[in-house]
Structure 1
Amino acid sequence: MDWDDLRIFLAVARAESLSGAGRRLAMDASTVGRRIARLEQAVEAVLFAKTPQGYSLTAEGARLVGPAEAAEQAAAAAAEATRGEAGISGLLRIGAPDGCANYLLPQVARSMCEAHPGLEIQIVALPRVVNLSKREADMAITVSPPDTGRLTVQRLSDYHLHLAAHADYLDRHPPIRAPEDLRQHRMIGYIPDMIFDRELDYLSETGVETATISSNSISVQMQAMRSGAGLGIVHDFAIPFVPGLRIVLPGHIALRRSFWLLRHADDRGSRRLSRLADALIQGLRAEVSRLEAMVLPAATGRT
């Protein structure tokens, strides 16, 4: 059995479509279909059932996933052995929530690529947890540790959030001296039924029940605040990116959250991914510290 056929089989199993697998493999969907047909002929079994939702594994296909993933790990280990330890090359795909992906990972990725010229990094910003079982990414950053799944979990870094608004908004509206004053103001936050992790339910910390402007993207919320549309809970590390943004009620509303790094349990033996994970952890911690230090301690209530 050809390993390359198994590689294509895994891509279809994870993407649940020929076109999705083709995009991941940089291959035409019709070619993917022909290769799957060739593999099915070789194993004398139908591996996928075509449904309105896409391609789903048959019982025979599900039995092939384990051996195919074992072959994938063996191929990766062989590639690592030939590359040696001098530098890290190849593709790394990182899944992350919106705030981390927009305000932290670009700088961290730059440093990692400068240290390893042969490295290519893809940042996947999704309003949900990246599915590592389907290999949507090599590793994922989340705002809470998972309860289930064959994953290795490492604490990445703590970070802080505060209520903030643009100076233009604050100049045009009544002063805010206590949390009760917020009832006179417009709030910006997440769409309630699109909050994919309980740690993102920031609005409840303000005592205000509903947001006037809401989005499932923290970047959209930040742009709304930049325009002077209202107040919202923001990451301290994102504040330096929005000149004019001011922290409000630091002594009353101050949140701390954590980022977690997730990897598929089968990747524990990969020296390459372990080295990349270490570089990512060090880089992200340093970037959170650098950006948060730019926010005046007097304004945040921290020392």
Structure 2
Amino acid sequence: MEPNWDDMKIFLAVAREESLSAAGRLLKLDPATVGRRVARLEQALDAPLFAKSPQGYVLTEAGERLMAHAQKAEEAVRAASGAMAGLAGTLSGQIRIGAPDGCANYLLPQVCARICDANPDLDIQILALPRIINLSRREADMAVTVSAPTAGQLLVQKISDYKLHMVATRNYLESHPPIKTVAGLKGHRMIGYIPDMIFDRELDYLNDLGIERVALASNSVSVQLRQVTLGTGVCVAHDFTLPFHPELRKILTDQVSLTRSFHLVRHQGDQRNERLNRFAEALTRGIREEIARLEAAAAS
């Protein structure tokens, strides 16, 4: 008996999740069914594909060999599906985007809403995580990142630069000593990332400014901005978030003006997927335009 594509999908899920229960949740199957299907595939191939370890299900040598072929088969199926979907006038189906929460909260909602307006049969899922999205495990179809990855078989496209400045509320600035220099920030309560949870070197703003203590810290941009809008301190904020928080004022603009970049990262095997290509084009254009619109509003 030769393995079928359904069994290969289950094999891929177990290999990526390293657990029958996690694979079952992903596939909407109970773990016992997943285990039986894996056993059936091993019987069909006459080889053990997984070894059980304290860490979970680990690929055997035979499993590693099958993994390479299964991924190619998956890419071929996705490419064929995307090519057929791309023939239609509008996009349909489901697409999941991973993004850091600043982008996910302040850019993607309006960008994705406009894409959905133009494609009524399209479902978009935004995965907002304060960490790097794992595309190899198919957590998402594509991801917005701050740093361009250099490892792995990935398609990387720069979307746009964006700017950041130090901010605080008017009330905070009026009720605390004047902030005239970066060195003077040390006398103020700083709001920023939890130092040991910064997942991208590009986000370590405060350390770059020589600020060691972060009195109010969160791994979420949204939480940081909520804290600063309460008048509790000073933080670094994306300019594109400022139109949503009119109570915030930029400070030290002549001394602190940071520029970072967003990149779109995709599976290399998806470059022939016309559906995802069209979506990626709409997404990058939308993010670029939204950053320009919001930064212009923040400067006015």
> What's the TM-score once normalised by structure 1's chain length?
0.93
Which of 147, 156, 162 is residue 159 of structure 2 equivalent to?
Answer: 156
Q: Do 2:170 and 2:249's aligned partners in 1 also have CA atoms closer than 8 Å?
A: yes
Between the two proteins, the alignment pairs up a number of residues equal to: 297
| Equivalent residue, structure 2, for 1:201 | 204
What RMSD in Å do the two structures reach over aligned CA positions? 1.6
Secondary structure class of the residue paired with 2:222: helix
| Equivalent residue, structure 2, for 1:7 | 9
Please give the per-residue CA displacement for 1:160-216, whole angstroms capped at 9, x wherever unaligned.
000001223222211222323212211111122211111001103444222111122
In the TM superposition, residue 148 of structure 1 has moved relative to its aligned partner by: 1.4
In the TM superposition, residue 123 of structure 1 has moved relative to its aligned partner by: 1.4
Q: Do 2:13 and 2:26's aligned partners in 1 also have CA atoms closer than 8 Å?
A: yes
Q: Do 1:139 and 1:264's aligned partners in 2 also have CA atoms closer than 8 Å?
A: yes
| Equivalent residue, structure 1, for 2:224 | 221
> What's the TM-score once normalised by structure 2's chain length?
0.94
| Equivalent residue, structure 2, for 1:242 | 245
| Equivalent residue, structure 1, for 2:290 | 287
Q: Do 1:18 and 1:32's aligned partners in 2 also have CA atoms closer than 8 Å?
A: yes
| Equivalent residue, structure 1, for 2:186 | 183
What's the % identity of the aligned pairs? 57
Q: Partner letter of residue 253 of structure 1?
A: V
Secondary structure class of the residue paired with 1:294: helix
Q: Partner letter of residue 89 of structure 2?
A: A
For the structure 1 residues 8 and 253, does the alpha-carbon distance in structure 2 shift closer, same or farther, using more than 3 Å as the test?
same
| Equivalent residue, structure 2, for 1:251 | 254
Q: Tell me how far apart the structure 2 counterparts of residues 80 and 188 of structure 1 sit (CA, whole Å).
A: 44
| Equivalent residue, structure 2, for 1:68 | 70
In the TM superposition, residue 15 of structure 1 has moved relative to its aligned partner by: 1.7
For the structure 1 residues 45 and 224, does the alpha-carbon distance in structure 2 shift closer, same or farther, using more than 3 Å as the test?
same
Q: Do 1:144 and 1:260's aligned partners in 2 also have CA atoms closer than 8 Å?
A: yes
For the structure 1 residues 98 and 59, does the alpha-carbon distance in structure 2 shift closer, same or farther, using more than 3 Å as the test?
same
Q: Tell me how far apart the structure 1 counterparts of residues 255 and 261 of structure 2 sit (CA, whole Å).
A: 20
2:280 counterpart of 1:277: yes
Q: Do 1:127 and 1:216's aligned partners in 2 also have CA atoms closer than 8 Å?
A: yes
Q: Do 1:205 and 1:253's aligned partners in 2 also have CA atoms closer than 8 Å?
A: no
Counterpart mapping for 1:79-118 below 5 A: 79-83=81-85, 84-118=87-121
Please give the per-residue CA displacement for 1:72-106, whole angstroms capped at 9, x wherever unaligned.
12222332344323121112111111211111111
| Equivalent residue, structure 1, for 2:38 | 36
Q: Partner letter of residue 41 of structure 1?
A: Q
Q: Tell me how far apart the structure 2 counterparts of residues 241 and 52 of structure 1 sit (CA, whole Å).
A: 47
| Equivalent residue, structure 2, for 1:301 | none
Q: Tell me how far apart the structure 2 counterparts of residues 16 and 58 of structure 1 sit (CA, whole Å).
A: 12
| Equivalent residue, structure 1, for 2:138 | 135
Q: Tell me how far apart the structure 2 counterparts of residues 87 and 21 of structure 1 sit (CA, whole Å).
A: 32
Please give the per-residue CA displacement for 1:16-68, whole angstroms capped at 9, x wherever unaligned.
22222222222223322222122112112221122222222111111111221
Q: Tell me how far apart the structure 1 counterparts of residues 245 and 257 of structure 2 sit (CA, whole Å).
A: 19
Q: Tell me how far apart the structure 1 counterparts of residues 34 and 89 of structure 2 sit (CA, whole Å).
A: 35
